Structure 1
Amino acid sequence: MICDIFDDVLEPHVAEYIQNEIRKVYWKYDYNSNKKIGIQPHWHVFCGENEEEVTKNNYDYLLPIWQAAAYKLKLEEQYQIIGWKRLYMNAHTFGVEPHMHRDDGDFTMMYYPRLDWKPEWMGGTSIWDDAGKNISRYSNYIGNRLMIFPASNNHQAMPVSRFCYELRPVVVFKCYVKGANVDRLDFYKD
């Protein structure tokens, strides 16, 4: 599996609520997606490592993404995904180009919250081959779209058009499968 893409994951009113809440987020510009070669930071917000922490940190409005995906997409049956270890948001603008990288964990689940994002602004996500030479799959940024892919896949947030003056946010769940050693998800943090 390279990457599965699903549109209209949330009911429209829930997607709109999440978009509006994300507009209020205070972003911190300090995060490198690839610490080995990354010199270009992007905006990042850590939301929590479990539902209790996410709620305590006031990001519980993001939890319906997980709930809808788990139910509608049958995460356990289709992917053996039984939970998530971290929830965070990344964002970038024109001129910020995040690096190709691999994630820790078993699967990465990424949600595009901006319903007003224009396709010509680009800013989608590329899944690269193992050698990092060719794009195997590309998803344009479409609001209320969700991607699921093996965390070991090379991937990269793609540049935003210079004609766009907006922030390109994504919501990311680091997922684990049945029988996974959840502690190993922290191995690649440093």
Structure 2
Amino acid sequence: MTPRPSSTIWPVVHDERRALIQDLDALQPQQWQTASLCPDWDVHDVLAHLVDTAKATRLGFVRRMVAAGFDFDRDNAAGVARERAEDPGRTLAEFRAVLTRTSSPPAPLATRLVEAFVHGEDIRRPIGISRDYPTAHVATALRYQLKTTVKIGGGKEYAEGWRLVASDVAFEHGAGQEVRGPAIVLLLAVSGRPVEVGELTGPGAVPFAQRIRS
């Protein structure tokens, strides 16, 4: 019998939340103000966003989108403002309180993996923290991003014209010049995050990384 997505995805999401809490417990006060990989958000903002999305429910999401005029960016900004405490320690405590929640906006559960992995790196990379992510689940998140349009948070258009190959898990996608790298790096790239050319190999590595950065 094939496991239900909820039985395989939520434990991974909870593990990622737990690992991020452990990493953030050691931050110095000034590090919370470090610019994240999310434009216009610092590390504290991204954590507040993760608290907000962990609390999201299907009905609540619909109500919020109506209030935001169906503007995702406006809704996200409102969520960050709502959950970002003056003291980062309080925001982290709230994230700890929602660690085991399994509520979600009305979207495929694979989006919870995308959220956990990408926002985890949005925070970790700028402050110099590394993590070994579960590659099979990163590949699941990557597959979702590659079939989903950028307009609704995916990365389908970013990958058009390239053959993406993961170097650490069985994964291949598309046709064109080959771009090879760890699954987490490919996931970041097709999620619109800048990656270093040195993290990728193959004849398409340089133009692909430059395209993402532009």
TM-score by length of 2: 0.25
More strand, by proportion: 1
Structure possessing the higher radius of gyration over alpha carbons: 2
If asked which structure has higher relative contact order (CA below 8 Å, sep 6+), I would say 1
The structure where helix makes up a greater share of residues is 2
TM-score by length of 1: 0.27
